Chain A
Amino acid sequence: MAEAIAFYVISAFVLGFAIMVVSTRDTVHSVLFLVLDFLFVAALYVLLNSPFLAVIQILVYAGGIVVLYLFVVMLVNLKRPPEAHQDPHRRTKLGLGLAAAVLLELGAIAGASYSSPAPAVAATAANIPVTGNTEQVGWLLYTSYLIPFEIASMLLLVAMIGAIVLAKREL
């Protein structure tokens, strides 16, 4: 019961902050709301029995990526005041129309899946010999999902080099 209340409260915050991110005029405030959003999403993960992922979310997403965004925002904002947000209304209508289309599609999928129950997931869960959330994730990462793991690290390496090259002033 308490869990349900916690879930709804956290969800309300998550959605509220997300709306603030998208609608605030000031870019810096937007970034701050994004951080708060991520923190609450991490709380949600804890509620969903994934403390490891919650901490990773705070560490990488909230503590790393958003800091990066904040840096760029500040470097960009150094010379100009926050932009005036003139809004051609057709753009807004297009955006909302697209959102409605996505909503309809999601609703259709949800309806279809409720009518026919999903097939049982393969019993990968039974094969993990260690307990404790972190250990389970680690086990899976290193055994069944080793190749994606390696590819992900290559991706990160490439991204790192790319970012450095892009941001250098002279080559």
Chain B
Amino acid sequence: MSAVDTFFIPLLKIVIVLNATLVAVTYMVLLERKVIAWAQSRLGPMRVGPYGALQPVADAIKLMIKEDITPVKADKWVFTAAPIISMVPALIVYAVIPFGPEVSLFGRKVALYITDVNVGLLYIVSVASVGVYGIILAGYASNSKYPLLASLRASAQLISYEVAVTLTLVSVIIMSGTLSMVGIVRAQEHAGVWYAFIQPLAFGIFFIGGLAETNRAPFDLPEAEQELTGGFHTEYSGMRFALFFLAEYANMIVVSSVATTLFFGGWLRPFPNIAALGFLDIVPSWMWFLVKSFVFLYIFIWVRATLPRYRYDQLMRLGWKVLIPLAIANLVITGIVRVVMLGAGG
């Protein structure tokens, strides 16, 4: 493999993916405000640009020129590092998410994913568990009671739902037999049906867990404005606050992408094995991926606009007493079915 292949092409992919993600994240803010507004029979941001399309630019400028306040007795290093620790895991997950299979571009075979690690799925889970640190450290570094308590509650919420989500992922692994993300998509192609239909319970738990993991409604108690005076990012302002905010949206996009890859066939068109529907191949693979992820993002926002907020103890009860037993039951059933299938099929 020439130097171009091993170095420049991945570099180019990284640049494209990172830029696309950051732009997508900023426009997520606008999208959310618009969708929630429509759900509430109003119009949302309309002033800046046509139909408010340039609103993120205005928001970005506002946040960047805001004064950067650091609390007096706060731990400077940790205070600065916390938003970064929140943002980085959300971004580096993109290294293993497959947007599409290998295509030929400009006469050269290029795979539409940055890399395909053999343990891709575990990598995503472990990176997500590191993201918890950003929240804990933000609360601690603010050196005041309310952010600290809020951050501890938020991180407890996160690590609780991590368990349920990881268990559902194991069910997916049993079905597909591989940990690599590309392998899972190919397994769905092989099976001819998306995993969401074989494993609806796993998908449901994954989605609810994803809502809780990203601190999104109805589980957004840690950051709701009416509770604990703004939660763990009370003391943050300007660019650092923007980083937290964007990290949350980036996490949302990550969960949507992972849900698409694992449960809805990634880049595959609907019914990939039925040749009669081959006319759907006109739409490029990555477009399918983006459309599906977008549907999930929309559902995220839709849920936020619709459901009331869970109280903290209800939230923890839901995670531990409901989701985890369901996930374990799903896992056991999946295992049994798989063994029976393998035994029968040979």
Note whether A and B contact each other (Cβ less than 8 A): yes
B171 to chain A, nearest CB (A): 16
Choice from B117, B136, B152 contacting A51 with Cβ under 8 Å: B117
Q: Are B119 and A52 in contact (CB under 8 A)?
A: yes
52-82 of chain A: CB within 8 A of chain B: 52, 55-56, 58-59, 62-64, 67, 70-71, 74-75, 78
Q: Are A35 and B133 in contact (CB under 8 A)?
A: yes
CB neighbours of B179 from chain A (8 A): 134
Q: Are A63 and B119 in contact (CB under 8 A)?
A: no
Name the CB-closest residue of B to A63: B129
130-158 of chain B: CB within 8 A of chain A: 130, 132-133, 136-137, 140, 148, 152, 155-156
Q: Are A132 and B118 in contact (CB under 8 A)?
A: yes
- The docked-state distance in angstroms from the alpha carbon of A39 to that of B85 is 13
A153 part of interface (Cβ distance < 8 Å): no
Residues of B within 8 A of A (CB): 75, 78, 117-119, 122-123, 125-127, 129-130, 132-133, 136-137, 140, 148, 152, 155-156, 159, 179
CB neighbours of B126 from chain A (8 A): 55-56, 58-59, 62-63
Q: Are B118 and A71 in contact (CB under 8 A)?
A: no
- The docked-state distance in angstroms from the alpha carbon of A64 to that of B129 is 7
Instruction: Evaluate whether A56 and B122 lie within 8 angstroms (CB atoms) in the complex, with A35-B133, A74-B136, A78-B148 already known.
Output: yes
Q: Which 4 A-B pairs have the closest CB atoms?
A: A63-B129, A59-B126, A58-B126, A55-B122
A163 to chain B, nearest CB (A): 14
CB neighbours of A78 from chain B (8 A): 148
Q: Are A55 and B78 in contact (CB under 8 A)?
A: no
Count of CB-CB pairs between chains A and B under 8 Å: 61
CB neighbours of B130 from chain A (8 A): 39, 58, 62-63
Choice from B78, B118, B123 contacting A133 with Cβ under 8 Å: B118
CB neighbours of A58 from chain B (8 A): 126-127, 129-130
B180 to chain A, nearest CB (A): 9
A133 to chain B, nearest CB (A): 7
Inter-chain pairs besides A59-B129, A67-B155, A71-B156, 5 sampled, C-beta below 8 Å: A28-B75, A58-B127, A62-B129, A67-B129, A133-B118
Name the CB-closest residue of B to A59: B126
CB neighbours of A62 from chain B (8 A): 126, 129-130
A10 part of interface (Cβ distance < 8 Å): no
CB neighbours of A28 from chain B (8 A): 75, 78, 140
- The docked-state distance in angstroms from the alpha carbon of A67 to that of B75 is 19
- The docked-state distance in angstroms from the alpha carbon of A71 to that of B155 is 9
- The docked-state distance in angstroms from the alpha carbon of A134 to that of B118 is 8
Q: Are A74 and B159 in contact (CB under 8 A)?
A: no
CB neighbours of B75 from chain A (8 A): 28
A20 part of interface (Cβ distance < 8 Å): no
A32 part of interface (Cβ distance < 8 Å): yes
A150 to chain B, nearest CB (A): 16
11 A-B contacts (beta carbon < 8 Å): A51-B117, A51-B119, A59-B122, A62-B129, A63-B129, A64-B129, A67-B155, A71-B136, A75-B152, A133-B118, A134-B118
Name the CB-closest residue of A to B173: A134
A44 to chain B, nearest CB (A): 15
Of A59, A71, A75, A133, most buried by chain B (CB within 10 Å of CB) is A59
Q: Are A74 and B152 in contact (CB under 8 A)?
A: yes
CB neighbours of A64 from chain B (8 A): 129, 159
A20 to chain B, nearest CB (A): 12
CB neighbours of A51 from chain B (8 A): 117-119
- The docked-state distance in angstroms from the alpha carbon of A32 to that of B132 is 13
Name the CB-closest residue of B to A55: B122
- The docked-state distance in angstroms from the alpha carbon of A29 to that of B140 is 11
Instruction: Evaluate whether A134 and B140 lie within 8 angstroms (CB atoms) in the complex, with A35-B133, A59-B129 already known.
Output: no
- The docked-state distance in angstroms from the alpha carbon of A55 to that of B179 is 12
CB neighbours of B140 from chain A (8 A): 28, 74
Instruction: Evaluate whether A32 and B78 lie within 8 angstroms (CB atoms) in the complex, with A51-B117, A67-B132 already known.
Output: yes
